[in-house]
Amino acid sequence: MKKNPKIISVEVSILDLPTIRPHKLSMATMMNQTMVITRITSEDGITGWGESTTIGGMTYGPESPEGMKLTIDQYIAPLLIGQESCNVNALMHKIEKNVKGNTFAKAGIETALLDAQGKRLGVTVSELLGGSINNKLGVLWTLASGNTDKDIEEAKHLISIKRHDTFKLKIGSNEPKKDVAHVVAIKKALGEDIRITVDINQAWDEYTAKTWIKVLQDNGIDLIEQPIIKTNFDGLARLTEYFHVPVMADEAVATPEDAMKLAKIRGGSVFAVKIMKTGGLYNAKKVAAIAEASDIGLYGGTMLEGTIGSVASAHAFSTFNNLSWGTELFGPLLLTDDIVTNPMTFRDCKLELPTKPGLGLEIDEDKFKFYKRK
Ligand code: MUC
Ligand code: MG
């Protein structure tokens, strides 16, 4: 084996896959998911795969799929071609110095570099990150059909086949009164043993949040995710202090720097970590370290990535000491098809970490071509 093989190509493709049903969030209704997939090949013939995925075009995050492809093609790939592929820290440092922001694009690149390096060394990505603490991660499901009865039916089915025992409800697109009645009806129908969380995706102002979180808390809802605008750090701290029900920061806590600022004022009693927000797996571990050092709970979040991004996230989250709120890495289950030949295993309300080198995935080249945007 050549000691330090150089990177010879960085190929970026945009893929569109349909969702199994409309997925209704406060800012968009998804009928399909668009994934930006990067394939990095080195002169030793080893290929690493990475995914950069957002939700709802540009309604959720600041990067669009088309913009991510352009950023990688135009600005990141030239920094990588001809470089020695094994030192992921040095490569990401170089990218960081030359390309500001664009954490989603960077997450896909770091994933591909780690996948390749894991394959090269014959170890999994979680082993590259120091080793997993949990090989099975709790995984919830998001009920977001937009209809209360349909959501209840969907949840009851998933409970009966032991796929999930925790559900997240996406609210914020209707009047709070209507949204909260929807949540309470689902909580009542599913019973006390089923954990229900709500994600408002920043849709309420602080006063509205104070009024309606009280009702959610009184009705036994387990967790309130990002009720107010992400920039209102102090408001998040006030709500965290005021309520007994845990308040989770999602959009507010993107980078390690955000985590540090929020931890100082206790803006959230739980942090949702996502490799897209942090710009990769190593930074996700930094956010987790800040949370752990501050006695803030951890939750493994998703941007509804397909299997590549979800498995990359799972490898990172598996290394956290205390993933007290589990994960929401169900993205691939929301899609009608997959571009890998060995999809993730979901069993007994948990997902199982792949054990093969790198991410542990085999790409189905035919499906890849089929879903690739022409
Ligand atoms: C979000 O804001 O958490 C996660 C699950 C889901 O349904 O949407 C995402 C985004
Ligand atoms: Mg969220």
Contact (CB, 8 A) for 355 and 329: no
Taking the centre of ligand 2 as the mean of its atom positions, its distance from the CA of residue 170, in whole angstroms, is: 8
Q: What is the pLDDT of residue 276?
A: 98
pLDDT digits (tens, 9 = 90+) for 187-238: 999 999 999 999 999 999 999 999 999 999 999 999 999 999 999 999 999 9
Average pLDDT of the residues in 263-288: 98
Q: Identify the residue whose C-alpha is closest to ligand 1 atom 4.
A: 302
Average pLDDT of the residues in 25-48: 96
Q: Are strands 345-347 and 297-300 parallel, antiparallel or unpaired?
A: unpaired
Average pLDDT of the residues in 288-317: 98
Q: What is the pLDDT of residue 1?
A: 58
Question: Which whole-number Å values give the CA distances from 42 to 81, 96, 104, in the listed order?
Answer: 9, 21, 22
Residue 264 has pLDDT above 90, yes or no: yes
Residue 6 catalytic? no
Could you tell me which of 249, 193, 196 has the C-alpha nearest to residue 225?
249
Catalytic residue among 106, 170, 187, 350: 170
Q: What is the pLDDT of residue 27?
A: 86
Q: What is the pLDDT of residue 26?
A: 85
Pocket of ligand 1 (CB under 6 A): 25, 55, 142, 144, 170, 199, 201, 250, 301-302, 304, 328
Q: Identify the residue whose C-alpha is closest to ligand 1 atom 2.
A: 201
Ligand 1 test: best mutation among 302, 313, 317, 329, most atoms within 8 Å of CB?
302
pLDDT digits (tens, 9 = 90+) for 90-104: 999 999 999 999 999
Taking the centre of ligand 2 as the mean of its atom positions, its distance from the CA of residue 271, in whole angstroms, is: 10
Residue 6 has pLDDT above 90, yes or no: yes
Residue 151 has pLDDT above 90, yes or no: yes
Q: What is the pLDDT of residue 2?
A: 63
Cα–Cα distance, 144 to 141 (Å, whole number): 9
Residue 349 has pLDDT above 70, yes or no: yes
Q: What is the pLDDT of residue 146?
A: 87
Q: What is the pLDDT of residue 44?
A: 96
Q: How confident is the model at residue 361 (pLDDT cuts 50, 70, 90)?
A: very high
Q: What is the pLDDT of residue 3?
A: 76
Helix (H, G, I), strand (E, B) or coil at 53: strand
Taking the centre of ligand 2 as the mean of its atom positions, its distance from the CA of residue 39, in whole angstroms, is: 28
Q: What is the pLDDT of residue 256?
A: 98
